[in-house]
Amino acid sequence: MTKFAYFCGHEQWHPEQLVRHAVLAEKAGFDMAVVSEHFHPWVDDHSASGFAFSTIGAMAQATEKLSFATGVTTPLFRFHPRRSSPRLPPLSIG
Closest CA to 6 of 85, 16, 19: 19
The per-residue pLDDT for 51 is 79
Residue 94 has pLDDT above 60, yes or no: no
Predicted confidence (pLDDT) at residue 43 exceeds the cutoff of 70? no
Mean pLDDT of 51-68: 91
Q: What pLDDT is attached to residue 24? A: 98
More confident residue, 81 or 36: 36
Residues contacting residue 33 through CB under 8 Å, at least 6 positions apart: 5, 6, 7, 8, 21, 22, 25, 56, 59, 66, 67, 68, 69
